Amino acid sequence: MSRRVLRVLDAPGYVLHATAWRETSLIVQVFSRDHGWISMVAKGAKRPHSALRPALSVFQPLLLSWTGGGEIKTLTRAECAGVHALPGPALMSCWYMNELLFRLLPHEDAHPGLFDAYVIALQRLAAGQPAAGSLRRFEWMLLHETGYGLDEQEPDFDDPVNEPELRASLRARLSEHLADKPLATRQVLLALQRYQSR
């Protein structure tokens, strides 16, 4: 019995990560609002004149079209749907969010609320707002959407007085579900902080 071929047109999404595949293509990990985290092959995307090449940037809103019924879909179109002009210091926060999505989100499991929280975090970071409030809001939503949420009322994520306690609580809950494997982005950030304090 053959699998039904799925065709999706103009789904809002973001590239989380891309790796080279064969000579001219990429394997792209995408986070879409209505389809969750999906693996796709972007055929020919490494070619200089590929229509896909300029669009496949991380942290930028896209409209994505793909086809396929297997585990790895075929990306057929990617169009820019706006720009998040992220300052350099915000990029580590963005990579941190992407790593959390990879580690805690099942494949092809839609979480529209989490997608919206991701977009809001990127918008806030692009606007130069403090990373702490943006990340705590995203972590909180990620835990709730994946069934690991705290049984508390949603706090004020931008309150600097409560931020250290909230950060410790969320990080402890996240650590419980990351199989005692430290996040690479967290290790890099700590190393940078140690370097800068010399």
Q: Note the pLDDT tens digit of each residue in 108-130.
A: 999 999 999 999 999 999 999 98
| C-alpha to C-alpha distances, 107 to 83, 187, 188, nearest whole angstrom | 26, 25, 26
Tokens for 182, please give them. 């430290």
Q: CATH 2.40.50.140 region(s) of the chain?
A: 7-80
Domain at 7-80, CATH from 2.40.50.140, 1.10.3720.10, 1.20.1090.10, 2.40.160.20: 2.40.50.140
Least confident of 1-10, 34-43, 57-66, 85-94: 1-10
Burial degree of 149 (CB within 10 A; 0-12, 13-18, 19+): middle
Residues in the chain: 198
Asked if the model's pLDDT at residue 2 lies above 50, the reply is no
Region 75-98 average pLDDT: 92
Q: CATH 1.20.1440.120 region(s) of the chain?
A: 88-196
Cβ atoms < 10 Å from Cβ of 82: 10
Do the beta carbons of residue 140 and residue 167 sit within 8 Å? no
Q: Which CATH class is domain 88-196?
A: mainly alpha
For 185, list phi and psi in degrees, rounded to 5: -65, -35
For 70, list phi and psi in degrees, rounded to 5: -90, -170
Which among 119, 103, 100 has a CA at the least distance from the CA of 32? 119
Region 185-192 average pLDDT: 66
pTM exceeds 0.85, yes or no: yes
Cβ atoms < 10 Å from Cβ of 56: 21
